[in-house]
Amino acid sequence: MYILLGVASVCLFILIRWVLRSLHLSNNDTRYVFITGCNTGFGNLLAKRLDRKGVNVIAGCLTADGTAALRNAYSRTLKTVELDVSKETSIRQAKIQCRLWALVNNAGIIGSVAPIEWHTQAEYRSVMEVNLLGVIFVTNAFLPLVRRERGRVINMTSILGRFAQIFGPYCVAKYGVSGGVLGPFFEYRRELYKTGVTVHIIEPGAFKTAIMCKDRTRNDIETRFRNCDEELHEYYGETFNTESDSTKIGFICGSGFSPKVHKEVDSYEHAILSRFPKHRHVVGLDANISYRILWNLPEWLADYIVTRPMSTPSGAKKLISSLIDYILYVFPRFY
């Protein structure tokens, strides 16, 4: 009897939540939404989607060509501005004077794909300035406009902000936005709790967009390796790049990425136009299944699974030359 009552209560809760989250706001033509990173990818698609739905869109594009292409392709209500989120002057110049219903921090760069010790300080800073500091500075600049409307702030993060893999600087920046309890997502959400402004994050898995290119990734790995010092050259060896080319690049830019980019845009739309949106949108089959399993496994087991397809440096192969060495190397991780 109690089991049936419990099951019925859970089913009723799920049904009520589904109904509430399916309700949408009205009067789209009176709402203004500012989106960063609209040259290509998710930001570009979102700007077009909202424009078709009658929302007043202000699209921030990095280049003049991007602003012109977007402005000429869609309705007169879609406004475009040049915006580099890593520069304070550009943010100030892009600030508009209207009541904003939603601010979408979509702009981001992938950085380079290489072992962490191959990256320079400048490479880390360039990714952090866009993916983390850009989110903070743009939010601070536009927050008074959102507060007047008691609107929403939506931040693009990544599932790699929860489970780091392959992209060193990118993972650090995305964790900074969403992963840590002291990160901006939690800080803004709690500071704005009593103001009527809500803060949401989108955590996508792997989707095929212009941000990833197989040739660019291959050249990036080769360039980073050439710029390493002699000690790293000797430790990793030339075969590391060859193995990376056949395993890492093939996964990153190949079948590992989903072509269903509309799912990401659907999540953005829900966060902006739903009456009762989620605080977190985990998007994609890999993010909801594969990564969810991995981050709940014991760390030693998750590490073992994730590192199986990764290349092994020549120096590490020399250290693990026998089965006994391998057992002694792996065993300390089982706790």
At 133, is the secondary structure helix, strand, or coil? helix
- Which residues carry out catalysis? 170
The dihedral of CA 229, 230, 234, 237: what is its sign?
positive
Q: How far apart are CA 199 and CA 137, in angstroms?
A: 15
Strands 79-82 and 102-105: unpaired
Q: How many helices and strands (H and E) does the chain possess? A: 18, 7
Tell me which residue of 139, 148, 140, 149 sits closest to 25, measured CA to CA.
149
- Show contacts of 209-214: CB within 8 Å, 24+ apart: 209/40, 209/41, 209/42, 209/261, 210/40, 210/41, 211/40, 211/41, 211/108, 211/109, 211/110, 212/110, 212/252, 212/253, 212/257, 213/253, 214/249, 214/253, 214/254
d(CA 240, CA 131): 29
Other beta carbons less than 10 A from residue 233's beta carbon: 14
**Pairwise CA distance, residues 169 & 112, whole Å:** 8
Q: What one-character DSSP code corresponds to residue 288?
A: I
